[in-house]
């Protein structure tokens, strides 16, 4: 059984208990803290797992001293902000695992902060977040940091600490290049924050969603990208992400039901006009990029926590008494999660690489770091040379 399978099964069981005892708020709050602590702990103790260690481990082990990087002599492959972050941690004696543990702590601190806005179904929200963003939590260290900083950006802005906001924005951009596009997108959306969103807006998105299933927008995206002054590295990365497309995906019914439920249960109050607009734009991104799941998964990570909180609060606080659409959405999510968990488990059995098998820092009680690192690096190499090409 691989690392992710155990995490998702545990969270699924916690979610089922929470849904069964939803009216017992004290019990659910206690269970949430147990589930959250387990999740952060389980993600934090991972030890050299996943295919991405193939590039991250040598980068961390050969990172230049901080003075050389700041002196303009940086020669690494990753963003300079991430290089500074790694060099700083290495200079105080942290191992590669220590660096990943710090990233995990920062990420889950941000998630815990935003989940405070939920009064109900926080375990279910955590389960869905990990289900959709497991790559971010387990393997994508740079973007994981950038997403956490994006969340902290919102709270700094909310508290009107504008200098702090700008500082966090700058750090996030220098840590992962995807943050540049996200912040520019948010700035563009913010300009039109006064636009009214209502049920018809979501019905429109639903219609567009269905139409775009038969109209691949790749040509349009390539045309737009060609008109934007991008570095060759960023251009190649975007084209690569757009090359991975699939029209029919298991998650399609989930997205359609989310759109329907937001239209059906939303109250679209004037005092929250800005949030209605931001969340509508987030759903619009999903609609437009749905076919290109590789790119969407990268972008979606930034707004998934916000959209989860917004959607759950909308469904909980609605004045409508009809609960069938809500129940259907939850049931569909559960079915999707079971299919995903079983599919992921079967896929792991068929792979030549075992890089996603259980490997925790507690294995150091029985093996040396060199032994565990070499074993996991060999598995990561097999993944890129065999499994990735086969996929």
Which tokens belong to 279? 């969340």
Percent of the chain with pLDDT over 90: 76
Closest listed residue to residue 103, CA positions, set 154, 175, 164, 33 = 175
In whole angstroms, give the CA distance from residue 292 to residue 289. Answer: 5
Q: Report yes or no: 251 and 300 within 8 Å, Cβ to Cβ.
A: no
Q: Report yes or no: 379 and 57 within 8 Å, Cβ to Cβ.
A: no
The number of beta carbons lying within 10 Å of the beta carbon of residue 70 is 14
**The model scores a pTM over 0.75:** yes
What residue segments make up the domains of the chain, in order of their start?
1-139+353-391, 192-350
In whole angstroms, give the CA distance from residue 160 to residue 155. Answer: 9
What tens digit of pLDDT does each residue of 106-139 get?
999 999 999 999 999 999 999 999 999 999 999 9
DSSP string, 274-314: HHHHHHHHHHHHHHHHTT-HHHHHHHHHHHHHHHHHHHHHH
In whole angstroms, give the CA distance from residue 254 to residue 330. Answer: 9
What tens digit of pLDDT does each residue of 61-95 get?
999 999 989 888 888 889 999 999 999 999 999 99
| pLDDT band, residue 220 (cuts 50/70/90) | low
Q: Report yes or no: 92 and 267 within 8 Å, Cβ to Cβ.
A: no
Please say if the pLDDT value at position 248 is more than 80.
no
Which tokens belong to 336? 């999707």
Of 177-191, 216-230, 290-304, 326-340, where does mean pLDDT reach its minimum? 216-230
Residues whose CB falls within 8 Å of the CB of residue 308, separated by 6 or more in sequence, listed in order: 125, 128, 129
Q: List phi, psi (to 5°) of 74.
A: -75, 135
Please say if the pLDDT value at position 352 is more than 80.
yes
Distance linking the first and last C-alpha atoms of the chain:
20
Supply the mean pLDDT for the chain: 91
Q: List phi, psi (to 5°) of 182.
A: -65, -50
Please say if the pLDDT value at position 227 is more than 70.
no
């Amino acid at each position: 059984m691989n690392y992710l399978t155990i995490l998702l099964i545990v969270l699924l069981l916690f979610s089922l208990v929470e849904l069964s005892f939803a009216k017992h708020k004290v019990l659910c709050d206690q269970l949430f803290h147990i589930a959250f602590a387990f999740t952060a702990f389980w993600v934090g103790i991972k030890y050299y797992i996943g295919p991405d260690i193939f590039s991250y481990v040598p980068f961390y082990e050969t990172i230049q001293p901080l003075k050389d990087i700041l002196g303009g002599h940086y020669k690494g492959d990753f963003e300079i902000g991430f290089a500074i972050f790694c060099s700083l941690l290495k200079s105080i004696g942290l191992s590669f695992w220590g660096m990943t543990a710090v990233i995990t702590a920062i990420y889950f601190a941000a998630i815990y902060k935003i989940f405070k806005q939920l009064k109900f179904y926080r375990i279910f929200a955590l389960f869905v977040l990990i289900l959709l963003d497991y790559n971010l939590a387990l393997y994508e260290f740079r973007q994981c940091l950038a997403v956490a900083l994006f969340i902290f950006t919102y709270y700094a802005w909310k508290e009107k600490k504008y200098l702090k906001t700008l500082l966090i924005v700058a750090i996030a951009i220098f840590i992962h290049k995807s943050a540049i596009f996200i912040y520019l997108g948010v700035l563009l959306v913010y300009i039109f924050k006064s636009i009214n969103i209502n049920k018809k807006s979501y019905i429109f998105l639903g219609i567009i969603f269905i139409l775009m299933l038969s109209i691949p927008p790749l040509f349009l995206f390539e045309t737009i990208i060609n008109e934007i002054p991008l570095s060759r590295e960023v251009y190649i990365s975007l084209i690569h992400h757009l090359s991975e497309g699939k029209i029919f995906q298991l998650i399609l019914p989930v997205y359609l039901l989310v759109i329907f439920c937001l239209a059906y249960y939303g109250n679209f109050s004037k005092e929250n006009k800005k949030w209605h607009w931001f969340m509508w734009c987030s759903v619009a991104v999903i609609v437009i990029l749905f076919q290109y799941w590789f790119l969407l998964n990268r972008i979606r990570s930034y707004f998934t926590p916000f959209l989860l909180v917004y959607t759950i609060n909308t469904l909980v606080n609605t004045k409508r008494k009809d609960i069938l659409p809500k129940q259907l959405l939850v049931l569909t999510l559960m079915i999707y999660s079971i299919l995903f968990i079983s599919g992921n488990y079967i896929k792991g059995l068929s792979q030549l690489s075992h890089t996603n098998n259980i490997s925790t820092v507690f294995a150091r009680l029985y093996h040396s770091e060199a032994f565990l690192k070499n074993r996991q690096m060999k598995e990561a190499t097999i993944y890129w040379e065999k499994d990735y090409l086969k996929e």
